[in-house]
Every structure is written in structure tokens, then in C-alpha cells.
Structure 1
């Protein structure tokens, strides 16, 4: 095909953002389609994979109305998606049950069993930990969110499903198969299953690590890099999407790699922050990095297997949505926090751990907490505390990450993700970190980053990183720290550090079931 456009789809937790992107990396048209997330007690957080595909078909139907000749002009379809999900698919690639999403923590007890034993270091059996660190540059999370623990849960609780399962895959993998009939997986998903050897030059499934979890190697899909052309659309997929069957489908990538590309920060050591439903600090590095005490590491990205540091926090936009809801706001996320008012001397502190935490403390039992609420505090106070709590939670993680060598510390820090569109949140983060903040394509960085994967196929650039570097110039807003607020937030951060330590100890020692 000789079309000039790329269709880029970024599948998040609450919906899919689909855009049509041209050779100048401009979004010609875009649409967002929501889909449900099923939450239940016990840490259950599931989605139906067919809902993702239905969202995509609705979105592309809308885009074809905006661009009537899209069928002939779209040469490439490429996906990015949430990580750490588990789909059990049969021989035809059909999901046998709902996807256990990254938010699903029901396997937490099995995670403890998987990693535990004597002697222990940081909650891990020493010799297991040494093997995981040497081969995979990390180890399964204690909170059960990784595929390794979810596979164990399936083996224990749904053996009939496991017996019928041909493929154990992540969200993006299922989508690519739905489009092409070919099952692949990304290096990020493989690495975060903790069954992949991530050592340079040896990036592939590890029989040794798979045996530790008890996962059959023949149920794990081939690992391919993000810009690989997998196949063209199947006739059925083409008909459902209304696209030319000759449209090429790329292997695609994770949401974190897509955001990294979309931020434009593709140089080694350059960090960015993504603020969406969750939050993360991320950046490419020249070699593998790891911090066991602080629960972050580099993972092998789909971008030529480059190590990508990810320090992920579980709650950001989700905590803001909660704060808006309990204070009676029916406005959009940005509008609900447009007027934070003036900080009071006794503003409450907020720990936004509404779904546990990952970095720098990996504990799914942690829960959100207000310190210092008074009768005179109102809805505006609570919303202000929520924004500050997210900013100071990120500051907490950043104090650990910024110890890494070869960081680029000069210039503005790039902020992307839907929450970055809020001026109040962006300014609070600038003040909390005492760092200039550059907001990139806030709501659409993932979509644009995903589109750069098609750069070589389309002839736009030699490789995705070269194309993504152009996005460094796509700045929508710039925020400079306010010296008075920097000093005030620094004081509050020191006070919160003491309260936080007490809160962490109380949850770890209380035996409270969440």
C-alpha cells in the first residue's frame, strides 16, 4: 500500500484513544472510546478483551466519517496497551475468560508464596531472588500484579481453563492476534512476566525462570520488537474495521514505551513523568538498572531491546477522580481541580494509596489516608490535598530514582498523560520537584509515541527514536517553580515523610485484609 497515514491505537484502563497520524507526526483526526472495567472485592479488576476490540471498531468507524478516504490512505495499524495483564486464549486466540488486568491483585497471597522462603532478603527467598536478578533484572512484585502470580492463580483456581489454554498473553498481544491471526508478545510483557532472560544479547524466554513459576514454555508467544511488521489484516478484521486488507499491522508496544516515545525524551538518561490513571517516572538507560529496596528497575523495551527504567505508582488520575466524586463534583477531571484556592497553614496531608503502592514501597495492603482533617476543611481543601498528595508521592519516588548515575539533570522535565492537561496539577508538580515542567502532547503522547513505531515502514525516519525526537518540540505548556511554594512544599514533604513511615508500618503490622 502507498497510503500516507498511520492509525495509532493506545489502549488504556478506561478506554482506547485512536488517532490518524501523518508524516509530520500531526494528529489528523482522533477519537476516544470507553470500555468497562469490572471491579470487585478481593482485588478483582477484569476486562473483557472483546470490549477492547469493539471500542477499536467504533473508533475507526468514527474516524472513517472524519476522513472518508481513510480506507485507502491508512497503510499501517499499530497498537500500544496496558501491561501486566493475563489473558488465557485458546488455539483460535479467543479469550477463555476475562483479562486479569494490571489492577487485579487477587494473586497477592500466591505472590508471597512464589517469592518467599528462607533465608529472606527484602521479603524474597535469597537464592530465588539472586536467580531472578541475574537473568531478568528484577523479580515478581509482592502485590500479585505481575503475570507470574496471575498464572499461579489460574493454575490453582481455574485448572479447567488452564487445560484449554493455548496462549498466555498480555492485552496488546491479544489485539495484534485479533487483527492478524498471528500471536506475538512484546519484550516488556515478557520481561515483566519474570520468565524472560533480559541480559544483553540473550533476550528470550528462559526455561529456568519459566520452571520456577511452572509455566509451559509452549504457551508463551514469540517475543518481537515493537516496529516489526507482523502481518496484514485478516479479511475478517479488515471487514470489521472497514480498512483495506493490505493494511500492515506492527507488533506494537506497551503504554510505558509508547509514552516514552511520545514524550520525545529518547536520549539515554532523560526522564519523563506520565500522569494518567496511574503514574510513572521513566527513561531510557544505556544498561540495566535495578533497585530492590525501592522496587523499580529497567525493563527490556520493544525499542531495539533498550533498557527502559520504570518507577510506577498505582494511583494518580484514579485518586483525583475519587476525590472529585466524594466532594460532589460532576465536572471533568481538569475542571474539577481548576480552582484549588489558597493553601491553609493546616491543610491535611493525603497519601493516595487507594489501590496499594508499587514504588518505592511495594505493598498492595497500603491504603489512602488523610492526616489532619478538621471541621473547617471543605471540599476544596480535600481536592487541594489530593493534588498535593499525588505530587508529593511522586517526589518521594523521584528522591530514589534521581540517585541513578548518568541521569540528565538539566532542562525541563517532560510531563505527559491525561492528568498533565491540568495546569494546577502541573504547577503543583513543578513546585514539589523544584523543577521546570514541560508539558508535551498531554493527552495524546501515547498515541503519538505508538505512531512513531511506523516511521521506518512509512519512510518518515530511519527508526522510531529518530521520529520520536521530533516530538520534543511539541510543547503545549511550560511551568516554572514558584519559590514560595517550593519552600512550603519542601517543609510539608519532610513532615509527610514521618507520617508516611508510620502509615507504612501500621499497614504492614496490622494484618488488615484489603
Structure 2
């Protein structure tokens, strides 16, 4: 290899985190650049692909200033990022419209129509549901957030775009093409279209599922592994990024796979929690798992299709930021000194954008329950933090019922919200669980860099490299017995009323 450093970029909902990682898996420099998210009524959530690329260019320019010899020392570059996006491109890779991000729900009715029919269970026609489960280990979500619904929404509402589209790409896919000129996708993105056969030994696009969905496989790019070398940078991309054109771009992965690698928790059944805009509970398993009743399952990861369980919740940091905004607080510092929690504090349901796990219902909405005249802004802030923590507890209780989960071990916490010490202690008390926090904001960057370990000669494969990150804990949180008892009582009360609250959002 020419060069001893890896540049890793983690493309999230609000911006890209870019870091430079050395052979000791040290993050020697990092930069964050933001880009807009365009929201509108009706489930509209879009981003402009070129703005993501421009953010990457700015971030790497800053890294050059921090590390003057980066051009000579960079040996590989890796992208990870948000999944379930849809970018329609022509044969040259030019976007035909903005990206429908993972948050976009405009295809919800279409998705319900696609999966529904008589007879059905939980909204899924039995024969279709069983076939999807057998082949893909899941089916399109009824909330319209999976790529299937987004592509079909474009087909119905923008037929000229659908017809002109040569490739339907996820966020990472387009960025890889922008850097190398090569069209690819990862197993995670492919699986989440629900047009991929994920059975062991049969992994690949499924013509059967393609016909059911009405999406032709010829518009879906080749599936590559996360450790594969895609190509070197194009001359133009190298010039924009200030890098040598012989820098190799490695396959990459979804943000969940990268974060899992970044925690070092790569044993089967080991879980971690990510808390950022949204939240997820995730971990590798030796074979496929699925919970139909609680709307989560394993998907195929970019590590040779190794099953990765993902249980996603829609609202975490986004809910805290919303409450901070309406109470004139700062989510980083303004949630401290909010007074002592009271047994009659209001409850907060953080379902501001619906929910996925353990209940998949786009109609759910956030609410404060049990407000009284004496409650003030501090009470609302306390309720918001507790509400996100109790929502995670609710989801984790269901995930821990999965066969093979290692439940008697500390949980690793990652994501920007994990850097909030007050919230993380509250979560430890709420879960009655020891929590370990490492590189909270940059775990995805480290995990993405690990995917280049084989190419760089750092290790035989990504997982063997990732275990070196295990135990790099910057903070440990232990539950306080008295506070844990208090949160247990609050959780028990919420469990009694949650069902009634959810039923109030059911459409007749």
C-alpha cells in the first residue's frame, strides 16, 4: 500500500463525520460538516446528494490543514452511512431528483397496499408475508420508510423519473459512484429493499420478490462486500478531495454495521445501543432472527452476509432537541440542573415521527401525559429525557427475548446523545444496567476504517481488527439502586397506560 492512513466518512442525517485513522486504530484527526435536511408535511424528507459530496470535500480540506502530509499518507477511503435512502440516477450517475431519505414516509399507503390483502395478520397478507419471511427474513414496513415504498411512490407519482432511472441507489452507493464511477450497493441496503434473497448460500437479488414488488432487478446495482476494494478514485474525484488517484475506495457499509464494528462488540449475541437522531439496538448473530410481533429482525451485513440484528426506534436525539427548543434549552447543556425527579412528573411519549420498534405504527405521535398546573419547563425536560430512556427500555425488553442474546454483560452505548453524561446516567438507572461509552460521536468512523484493515494489511479481516477496539471505554455508568427503583416504578406505571395511549391513535 502507498500510505499508512485510512480516511473514513460516516454520512448521517444531519451531516458527515470524517476522520483519519492509523494502524493502531487511533482517530488522529476528525471533522464534522453539516448539510440540510428538507422536511415538509405529508412525510416529506429529502436531501440533495451533491450537498453531501460538497460537505465531504470541505471536511477533507479541513483534514488536509490538520495533517499537511495527508495526501501522501492516505492509503484508502471508506464510506458508511444512513440506509433506506433512494437516489434515482441516470446511466451516468446523475441524480434525477433529490434523495428520499430514510425518514420519508410518503409511500406509507403504497406499502400498506403492497403487503396487505385478505386474509392477513398484522396487516400482511398471509401468503405474501410468509414468502417474504422465507426469502428475505422480513417484509416492507407499513410506515413507508423502506426503499420499496419510496421507489413505488416515485413510480406512481413521478413516472417520468422512474422510467429515466438507470439505477436506484442508497446514500452510500451514490457517494461511492461519485468517487470511483462504479455502481454498487451493500448487502444491508439490498436487504432493506426486500427484493433480496438472504437465505444462506442463496444471497442475491430475487426475481420472485422483484415481481411481487413491481421493481425490476435490472435497476438495482451489484451487491459488494464491505471489505472489497471497489476501485481507485477517479481523476476528478481525487482532485476535488486533494488525494492521489491511486487511493483505494473500500466497499463500506451501513451506519449500523460500522457502529457495531466500532464498538468492538463483534461476538454473536453481544448488543450495543446507538443514540443519535434516532436510536437502535443491534448486534451480530450466527443465523437469521426475526420478531414479527415486535417489528425487528436481522439483516445481511457487509461482512460476508453475517446476520446483524437491528431494532430501530424513530426518536431519540430528535425528541430531546425538540423539547429543548420549545423550552428554550440547549440539548448539550440545558438539560442539567432541572430539579429532582418527582413521582408525579409527567410522562413523555417520544413518538414525534411515529415508531418502529417494538410497535411499527407511523400514526403514533408524541405527547405529554399527566400534566398538572405545578409542572414547569424543568418538569417537561425531565420527562423528555426519561421518556426516551423508557422507550429504549421498552424496546430492549423485547430484543432480549431473542435466542442467543448475551444479556448478562454491560451494554456499550454510542452516538452523540451518549456524550450527554446526565442522560446516560439516567439511562443506566432506567435500564438498571452497567453502560460503557467509548468514542461516542465517532464510533461509525472507526468502524468504517476497520473495513479497510485487510486492504491496509492491519489484520486478516475486519472483525479480527475490530476486537482491538473493545474495552476502549472513556466512561462507565453504574445504576444507582435507589434511582433504579424509582425508574422501575415509573416504568411499571407507564406500562399500564401505554396501550391505551397507542390505541387512541388508531384510525377507525
Above 0.5 in TM-score? yes
Q: Which residue of 1 aligns with 2:416?
A: 418
Q: Which residue of 2 aligns with 1:119?
A: 119
Q: For the residues of structure 2 that align with 1:14 and 1:498, how far apart are their CA atoms?
A: 36
TM-score, structure 2 normalization: 0.99
Instruction: Pick one of 380, 383, 389 that aligns with 2:381.
Output: 383
Q: For the residues of structure 2 that align with 1:63 and 1:399, how far apart are their CA atoms?
A: 42
**Structure 1 residues 340 and 25, CA, compared in 2 at 3 Å: closer, same or farther?**
farther
SS of equivalent to 1:133: helix
Q: For the residues of structure 1 that align with 2:364 and 2:233, how far apart are their CA atoms?
A: 44
Deviation at 1:478, TM superposition (A): 0.3
Q: For the residues of structure 2 that align with 1:272 and 1:341, how far apart are their CA atoms?
A: 30
> Do the aligned residues in 2 keep the contact of 1:338 with 1:422 (CA within 8 Å)?
no
Q: For the residues of structure 2 that align with 1:461 and 1:377, how far apart are their CA atoms?
A: 56
Q: Which residue of 1 aligns with 2:218?
A: 218
Deviation at 1:149, TM superposition (A): 0.6
Matches within 5 A, 1:174-323: 174-323=174-323
SS of equivalent to 1:200: coil
Larger mean Cα displacement after TM superposition, 117-126 or 489-498: 489-498
Q: For the residues of structure 1 that align with 2:467 and 2:378, how far apart are their CA atoms?
A: 39
> Do the aligned residues in 2 keep the contact of 1:416 with 1:442 (CA within 8 Å)?
yes
Instruction: Pick one of 447, 450, 454 that aligns with 1:449.
Output: 447
Deviation at 1:375, TM superposition (A): 2.0
Q: Which residue of 1 aligns with 2:401?
A: 403
Q: For the residues of structure 2 that align with 1:214 and 1:405, how far apart are their CA atoms?
A: 34
Q: For the residues of structure 2 that align with 1:350 and 1:430, how far apart are their CA atoms?
A: 18
Q: 2:150 aligned with 1:150, yes or no?
A: yes
Q: For 1:155-187, what per-residue CA distance to the aligned partner results, in whole angstroms no more than 9, with x for missing partners?
A: 100000011100011000000000000000000
> Do the aligned residues in 1 keep the contact of 2:133 with 2:139 (CA within 8 Å)?
yes
> Do the aligned residues in 2 keep the contact of 1:438 with 1:479 (CA within 8 Å)?
yes
Instruction: Pick one of 357, 365, 368 that aligns with 1:367.
Output: 365
Deviation at 1:5, TM superposition (A): 0.4
SS of equivalent to 1:8: strand
Deviation at 1:500, TM superposition (A): 1.3
> Do the aligned residues in 2 keep the contact of 1:19 with 1:29 (CA within 8 Å)?
yes
Gap regions ≥5 residues in structure 1: none
Deviation at 1:334, TM superposition (A): 2.2
Deviation at 1:94, TM superposition (A): 1.1
Q: Which residue of 1 aligns with 2:136?
A: 136
Q: For 1:259-288, what per-residue CA distance to the aligned partner results, in whole angstroms no more than 9, with x for missing partners?
A: 111111100000000000000000000000
Q: For the residues of structure 2 that align with 1:339 and 1:177, how far apart are their CA atoms?
A: 48
Deviation at 1:466, TM superposition (A): 1.1
> Do the aligned residues in 1 keep the contact of 2:110 with 2:149 (CA within 8 Å)?
yes
Deviation at 1:474, TM superposition (A): 1.2
Larger mean Cα displacement after TM superposition, 488-497 or 91-100: 488-497
Q: For 1:380-405, what per-residue CA distance to the aligned partner results, in whole angstroms no more than 9, with x for missing partners?
A: 21111111001100110111111112
> Do the aligned residues in 2 keep the contact of 1:338 with 1:423 (CA within 8 Å)?
no
TM-align CA RMSD: 0.9
Larger mean Cα displacement after TM superposition, 496-505 or 58-67: 496-505
TM-score, structure 1 normalization: 0.98
Q: For 1:393-423, what per-residue CA distance to the aligned partner results, in whole angstroms no more than 9, with x for missing partners?
A: 0110111111112111222110000100011
Q: For 1:430-488, what per-residue CA distance to the aligned partner results, in whole angstroms no more than 9, with x for missing partners?
A: 11111100012101101111110011111111111111111112101000011111111
> Do the aligned residues in 2 keep the contact of 1:277 with 1:316 (CA within 8 Å)?
yes
Q: For 1:236-278, what per-residue CA distance to the aligned partner results, in whole angstroms no more than 9, with x for missing partners?
A: 1001111100000011100110111111110000000000000
SS of equivalent to 2:76: strand
Deviation at 1:39, TM superposition (A): 0.2
Q: For the residues of structure 2 that align with 1:469 and 1:417, how far apart are their CA atoms?
A: 19
Report the number of matched residues. Answer: 508
Q: Which residue of 1 aligns with 2:32?
A: 32
> Do the aligned residues in 1 keep the contact of 2:429 with 2:479 (CA within 8 Å)?
yes
SS of equivalent to 2:465: helix
Q: Which residue of 2 aligns with 1:69?
A: 69
Q: Which residue of 2 aligns with 1:394?
A: 392
> Do the aligned residues in 2 keep the contact of 1:337 with 1:422 (CA within 8 Å)?
no
Q: Which residue of 1 aligns with 2:3?
A: 3
Gap regions ≥5 residues in structure 2: none
Deviation at 1:127, TM superposition (A): 0.3
Q: Which residue of 2 aligns with 1:465?
A: 463
Q: For the residues of structure 2 that align with 1:369 and 1:185, how far apart are their CA atoms?
A: 38
SS of equivalent to 1:150: helix
SS of equivalent to 1:470: helix
Q: For the residues of structure 1 that align with 2:93 and 2:227, how far apart are their CA atoms?
A: 22
Deviation at 1:54, TM superposition (A): 0.3
Larger mean Cα displacement after TM superposition, 179-188 or 466-475: 466-475
SS of equivalent to 1:335: coil
Q: For the residues of structure 2 that align with 1:291 and 1:274, how far apart are their CA atoms?
A: 20
> Do the aligned residues in 2 keep the contact of 1:340 with 1:424 (CA within 8 Å)?
no
Q: Which residue of 2 aligns with 1:487?
A: 485
